[in-house]
Amino acid sequence: MTGLPETTTPAQAAAAMMDYITYLNASRAEWSAAMRGSATGGPNGDGYFPLTMFDGSTILVPSVAKLMAVIAAMPDLNSQIEDLPAGGAGDLGADFELVGRKGAGQPPKRFAPALFAQGRTRDLATVSALLGDELLPCLTSAGGGQDRRFALSTLGNFLSGGVINPKLPPYNCKGDCCEISDAVSTAGSAVITSASGLFTPADVGKLVYLTNAGPSGSVLATTVQSYQNPHQVTLAAAASVSRSNGMLWGTDDSAGLAAALAASAPRGAVDFGGVVMLPPGWYLTGPQVYQSRAALVGAAQGRICALVRKPDGTTNPLLANKTYASPAAMRTDDFPIIDGIGLHGARYYQSGPASECFYWNAGIGSTVLTQIDPFIRFTNIEVWEASSTAFRLRGRGAGQVNNINLTGGWGEGFLYDSYDTTINGVQTQNFLNAGIHIGAGGANSTFTGLKASYNGTGSTTANASQERCCNMLVEGQGCTFDGALFQESCGSNLVIKGNNHSFMGMQFQDTGDTWPVGGNGSGGGLLPFRADIVLSGGACVDNLIIDAKGFGSVHAECYATHALYLVGYPTRNRGSIWTAPAARSYYSGGTAPNGSTIPGGTGVYAPGAIGNDSSGSRANNSPLTIDGVSI
């Protein structure tokens, strides 16, 4: 304490100390009431609350709710508030007279926080104890003097943790997209019924897509015209087909999300941007561009916070970086962070061309600037129902990709044409082409914890190939794969066409037991051989396979014809493959449990532990062993 005379007695000092403590307690209570008060609270019902100074005078300060109400009412605050002069200059209007001072005969004044801080250091300490030092950036300079004012938009960011919330003004996203699988349509009627009972009065006016209710079974795109009850709504257009449909409906959040993502961009080439956090909900949206040096984060993981692909007739990915959106623009393209979001490709609702769900392309070159490396961080992302490739990486990555779950799509699951990246925990299931594809540009990367199952089912006898029908296709060079499980492939489980890769801890189950969609369960689309591992072509050179394990069958059927098959002239590949049991039998043809005929292969495709279609290929890879015996 200061200001006590030297002649102050201990009793007087103690009394002064008690007065100060009393004042601090009262001040703390007043600040607490002001911070928690409503926008219409306070002694005058205007959202301003009294704060007693140490000299006994009183000032009025706005509550947090009052400040946020002002922000909500004036979306463009940067131009309307922050650039205006402080003090007496400028007429802000009644809603923006932030503080009035009451004293003996003094007129109301605008609050000058800097002077307040200088004169009342002890009071400011109490404020800091309540709100922390993070409030101080909300006090912005104006007019070149000591007089300052609250920057309402900055305070708004502080109050929300410095995070851009797309559901708040000025973005106003709804995140109200819903999906059901039991929407019953009647030809010639606009009435839709559903046993799910998820319709609400708020659905009126929302966009609607029904999978097969349009002309000739096409997608019906319209809006909700009226609500009858939770099980029935009327659309603005009649259905053309009587049937049960998938139904997707919601508010178009495209513009709001685009604005929120744009607001997170860094201001220049050397600084960093902000964080867009998706509250729980499904956001119906067209293609979006995520920012470099910024973050897009879900408040929860998996499918709780998700973007849903609105049909728009374009091939643009649902979520892509700036290189895809503007390849000719000079810009930075590095340090992106995507975490904890879902991407719903809505493939059955698309009436136009197929589009990818997630896309990254470093595109380093004359038009792209990076700080050493892109350093990508893509984690905890779930993608489902893609109409094309679910998750695609191109160009330099030099970062980390973790916990990617991909389910169901009409293309490939995980397409990697990048390099210098660490990938951990990728799971793919039920894609028409390869579940995991390391493309020709994939190099110098580490993969751990991979799982691919039930992939490659889109082949027919006309287009069947090992590359399309496998669980994992590896081209490229110089990657390390440590720990992977491959199950229930349509063709072979793992096809290797690249060079200088290392494979460790691979396990193969139920090779070839997934009948292709094109084969209609008849086996007509199956390849003449289905191996645990295929080494394919002259570019398949110097790969190391350490203790790969062919487990045989987990389920009732296993249609594997080989543990290893050599296509063309792979060279100098080495390592060890083990089968279980050692006397494992390989499928030689016959009848499946449902009566369908499944081919087993003849001639060079005759079943066995190892097969090859070119003479001499075994000798070129003699360091390889199966159950301890050289091939």
- Please give the single-letter amino acid code of residue 614: S
Burial of 626 (0-12, 13-18, 19+ CB in 10 A): buried
Q: What is the pLDDT of residue 172?
A: 95
Query: What's residue 560's pLDDT?
Result: 86
Cβ neighbours for 383, distance < 8 A, ≥ 6 positions apart: 342, 343, 344, 345, 357, 358, 390, 391, 404, 405, 406, 407, 409
- Dihedral of the CA atoms 34, 40, 41, 47 (nearest 10)? 40
Cβ neighbours for 196, distance < 8 A, ≥ 6 positions apart: 180, 182, 231
Q: How far apart are CA 616 and CA 618, in angstroms?
A: 5
Residues 489 and 531 sit within 8 Å (Cβ to Cβ): no
pLDDT confidence of residue 54: 64
> Can you tell me the distance from the alpha carbon of 390 to that of 329, in angstroms, rounded to the nearest whole number?
26
The SS3 of residue 217 is helix
pLDDT at 100: 38
Parallel/antiparallel/unpaired status of strands 305-309 and 295-298 = unpaired
Amino acid at 207: L
Cβ-contact 535, 570 below 8 angstroms:
yes
CA atoms within 13 A on the CB side of 512: 33
The tokens of 605 are what?
């495709």
Report CA Rg, the chain: 33
Question: Tell me, what's the pLDDT at 352?
Answer: 80
At residue 453 the predicted structure's pLDDT band, cuts being 50, 70 and 90, is very high
Q: Which residue has the higher pLDDT, 133 or 271?
A: 271
Residue-level pLDDT at 239? 97
Instruction: Tell me the C-alpha distance between 530 and 22, whole Å.
Output: 83
Which two tokens mark 356?
Answer: 């990818």
DSSP 3-state of 137: helix
Q: Which amino acid is at 413?
A: G
pLDDT of residue 269: 65
Find tokens 């997608």 and name the residue.
Answer: 219
pLDDT at 528 (0 to 100): 78
Highest mean pLDDT, choosing among 352-356, 475-479, 521-525, 527-531: 475-479
Q: What is the pLDDT of residues 248-296, one digit of tens each?
A: 999 999 999 999 999 998 876 677 889 999 999 999 999 999 988 899 9
Closest Cα partner for 286 from 261, 262, 254? 254
Beta strand 281-285 with 207-210: parallel, antiparallel or unpaired? unpaired
The rounded distance, in Å, linking the Cα atoms of 168 and 185 is 36
**Residue reference for tokens 């960011």:** 157
Average pLDDT along the chain: 80
Nearest to 601 by CA among 566, 559, 554: 559
Largest CA distance in the chain: 113
Query: Is 546 in a helix, a strand, or coil?
Result: strand
In which band, very low, low, confident or very high, does the pLDDT at 117 lie, cut at 50, 70 and 90?
A: very low
β-partners of residue 233 are 192, 227
pLDDT of 298 higher than 80:
yes
Q: What is the model's pLDDT at position 381?
A: 98
Q: CA 346, CA 383: separation in Å to the nearest integer?
A: 10
Give the DSSP per-residue string, 380-435: EEEEEEESS-SEEEEEE--SEEEEEEEEEESS-SEEEEEES-EEEEEEEEEESS-S
φ, ψ dihedrals at 454, nearest 5°:
60, 40
Find all residues with CB under 8 Å of 603, minimum gap 6, and list them.
Answer: none
Cα 241 to Cα 195, 214, 227, 289: the distances in Å are: 19, 7, 21, 37
In angstroms, the Cα distances linking 230 to 182, 189, 193, 205 are: 13, 18, 9, 16
Between 221 and 615, the higher pLDDT residue: 221
What is the mean predicted confidence (pLDDT) over 10-25? 71
Q: In the beta sheet, which residues pair with residue 436?
A: 414, 472
Q: What are phi and psi of 284, to 5 degrees?
A: -75, 120
Q: Which residue has the tokens 């819903």?
A: 178
Q: How far is Cα of residue 217 from the mean position of the Cα atoms in its chain? A: 32
Tell me the whole-structure pTM to 2 decimals: 0.74
Amino acid identity of residue 107, one-letter, is P
Decide if 489 contacts 455 (C-beta within 8 A).
Answer: yes
Query: In this structure, what token pair is assigned to residue 569?
Result: 């002239």
Residue 546's pLDDT is what?
A: 95
* pLDDT at position 11 over 60: yes
Span 521-566, pLDDT tens digits: 444 556 778 899 999 999 999 999 999 998 766 665 678 889 999 9
Residue 122 sits at φ, ψ, to 5 deg, of -65, -35
Residue-wise over 494-511: b if at least 16 C-beta within 10 A, else e? bbbbbbebebbebbbbbb
The predicted-structure confidence for 160-217, as pLDDT tens digits, reads as follows 446 899 999 999 999 999 999 999 999 999 999 999 999 999 999 999 999 999 999 8
Nearest to 474 by CA among 451, 507, 448, 441: 441
Per the DSSP assignment, residues forming a β-bridge with 625 are: 576, 630
Count the neighbouring beta carbons within 10 Å of the beta carbon of residue 172: 15
Angle, CA 459 vertex, CA 479 and CA 614 arms, to 5°: 60
Distance CA 256, CA 394 (A): 28
Tokens 């609702």 appear where?
Answer: 349
| Beta carbons of 223 and 206 less than 8 angstroms apart | yes
The residue type at 123: D
- Gap between the Cα atoms of 70 and 150, Å rounded: 12
CB neighbours of residue 594 within 10 Å: 9
437's CB contacts (< 8 A; 6+ apart) are 412, 413, 414, 415, 416, 472, 473, 475
DSSP state of 158: H
